[in-house]
Each structure stands twice: as C-alpha cells, then as structure tokens.
Homo-oligomer: A and B are copies of this chain.
Amino acid sequence: MCELLAMSANVPTDIVFSFTGLAERGGVTGPHVDGWGITFYEGKGSRTFKDACPSSQSHIARLIKSYPIKSETVISHIRQANRGCVALENTHPFDRELWGFNWTYAHNGQLTDYKEKFALRRFRPVGDTDSEMAFCWLLEQLVKRFGDERPGDMPAVFAYVASLANDIRALGVFNMILSNGHYLLSFCTNNLCHITRRAPFGKAKLIDTEVVIDFDKETTPDDVVSVIATRPLTGNEAWQIMQPGQWQLFCKGEIVAGGQFGAPDAGA
C-alpha cells in the first residue's frame, strides 16, 4: 500500500520533523520504496517535489529533510505500487487546477472495478493509477455540481467531496487527503490518524528514527498545527485514530467540519 502525511497550520510551519519520520518508511522501516512526493502551499502558490525512487535514498528527499520550507498546508505520500508501474507520472501527490486553485491529492489504498464508474471528460489521468483516476473523477463531479465559477461556500464543496469519497469506498480502500491550499480534507477507510499540537507544546520523539524535537522551542504560543498520517509518527503523543467512513476538514490547523458516513451502498 502506501502512507500518507499531511499538515494544516495557522502559521507557516516546516514539516522537516514529520517528513524525516515518514521518509524512513520508504525503504528503511517500511516497504514503500516505489516513489514519494510532497506538496507545499505557500500562499496561493504551491510546489511539489517528487521522485520515483525510495524516499530513504532520494537526493531530493534529503534536501526536504534538511531545508525547512515554511508552509500552511502540506501533503506528502510514499508509494508501494499496486496499480500502475513505478514511474514519475504514477507518483503522488497529484494536482489539478480548478476555479483558480491548485488542488492537491494523495491516496492510500486500492480500488477494483473502478474504470466504469470513473468516466472522465474534462480531467484525465496522465499516469495509470486508480488513485489519479479517482482524483479526476472527484473534480469532474465538483464541476457538475458547482459549475465553472468558484463557489462561495468552500466547506460545502469539501463536504460534497467527502460524500463522493464514501461512494468510492464501495470500490475498495480509499484513505485520501485533498487540499486547495486553504482547506485540507482527510477521509478514512481504514488507516488514518491525526494530532493537533498547540500550547503548551512539549517534546516529541519519532518512532522510525532517533530524532527528538522540542516544539516549545520551535513555536509561538498561538501556533496551532495539525498533522495527519496513515500511522502515528511519534511514540510519546496521543494520536487520534479516525474511524472508517469518517472525514475531517482542517483549516489553519483546526478541524472546522467533519462527519461520519455509514458503510457505502455496494451498488453505488
């Protein structure tokens, strides 16, 4: 499968600590050696670094671990290929522009019998993954529902995406992160958790490598930073485990909306 990592913060924050833990799982403490990627939003703009080689060995991942990029919203992914070969075009996160936003998306899981559901016209996959097809389909549905003009109520847009994600859950495992830079949506099928750090800050210790950080020295008392991950990255903090069918919408580090779907209709 794969592993996901994401961050939503109320001040530009670097993700070096968390990414250092995740990157170990790409070949050292985990089997996710088929590529990795990370997207940083900085204001309205975003940039994605990706590589089709293991994150534990990547020159570019080494840069990300040593060069703090301050961002309010981050999405990262390490890949263990199932659908689609090991190639740059199959490496998450994927991104598309809609309504003048860069949308960024990453998926953990595997879908079956999805090609019929994911009929596409305006957004097309560049690679061969079920993940990118699902992303394109989600965006197609947004245009069908909300039209070509940017909607005023973005939380309603993300709530609609969550309902669509629950439909996709009928096709398999669909743990998913989606952001337009300002909001960040997490949707859980089976493996996703989060932690929100705020004052008083303490020390945190990575599970996957010998790194300890004292957040009290890295933050101000007003900082609020949420981190979402497939599995907890630190061993001494209380991560909240998400439930199947649960979604959470983050904005500036806080959960601003959420909900819980029942099992999807298998005929959906």
The chain A residues found within 8 Å of chain B, CB to CB, are 42-52, 59-60, 63, 67, 87-91, 96-102, 121-127, 148, 150
Q: How far is the CB of A159 from chain B (nearest CB, A)?
A: 22
Most chain B CB inside 10 Å of its own CB: which residue of A42, A43, A51: A43
- Closest residue of chain B to A96, judged by CB? B97
Which of B46, B63, B89, B99 is the one whose CB lies under 8 Å from A44?
B89
Cβ-defined contact, A126 with B148, below 8 A: no
Selected A-B contacts with CB under 8 Å, 6 pairs: A44-B89, A45-B127, A46-B88, A47-B51, A97-B123, A98-B124
Q: Which residues of B contact A59 (CB under 8 A)?
A: 63, 67
Q: What copy number does this chain have within its complex? A: 2
- Closest residue of chain B to A62, judged by CB? B63
Most chain B CB inside 10 Å of its own CB: which residue of A48, A49, A51, A97: A97
Cβ-defined contact, A45 with B87, below 8 A: yes
- With contacts A48-B48, A59-B67, A96-B97 known, is A87 near B43, CB below 8 A? yes
Q: How far is the CB of A202 from chain B (nearest CB, A)?
A: 30
Q: How far is the CB of A181 from chain B (nearest CB, A)?
A: 9
Which of B47, B52, B67, B123 is the one whose CB lies under 8 Å from A49?
B47
Q: A47-B50, A48-B48, A99-B124 are in contact. List 16 more A-B contacts (CB 8 A).
A: A42-B52, A43-B87, A44-B88, A44-B89, A45-B87, A45-B127, A47-B88, A59-B67, A60-B67, A97-B123, A97-B126, A100-B124, A100-B125, A101-B126, A121-B148, A122-B148
Cβ-defined contact, A88 with B42, below 8 A: yes
Query: In the complex, what distance in Å separates the CA atom of A52 from the CA atom of B100?
Result: 19
Which of B43, B60, B91 is the one whose CB lies under 8 Å from A63?
B60
Q: Which residues of B contact A98 (CB under 8 A)?
A: 124
Q: How far is the CB of A54 from chain B (nearest CB, A)?
A: 16
Query: In the complex, what distance in Å separates the CA atom of A48 from the CA atom of B240?
Result: 34
Query: In the complex, what distance in Å separates the CA atom of A100 from the CA atom of B44?
Result: 24
Query: In the complex, what distance in Å separates the CA atom of A43 from the CA atom of B90?
Result: 11
Q: Which residues of B contact A42 (CB under 8 A)?
A: 52, 87-88
Q: Which residues of B contact A43 (CB under 8 A)?
A: 87-89
Q: Which residues of B contact A51 (CB under 8 A)?
A: 47
Q: How far is the CB of A249 from chain B (nearest CB, A)?
A: 21
Query: In the complex, what distance in Å separates the CA atom of A48 from the CA atom of B47?
Result: 7
Q: How far is the CB of A41 from chain B (nearest CB, A)?
A: 9
Query: In the complex, what distance in Å separates the CA atom of A102 from the CA atom of B52?
Result: 17
Q: How far is the CB of A145 from chain B (nearest CB, A)?
A: 16
Query: In the complex, what distance in Å separates the CA atom of A102 from the CA atom of B76?
Result: 20
- Closest residue of chain B to A66, judged by CB? B59
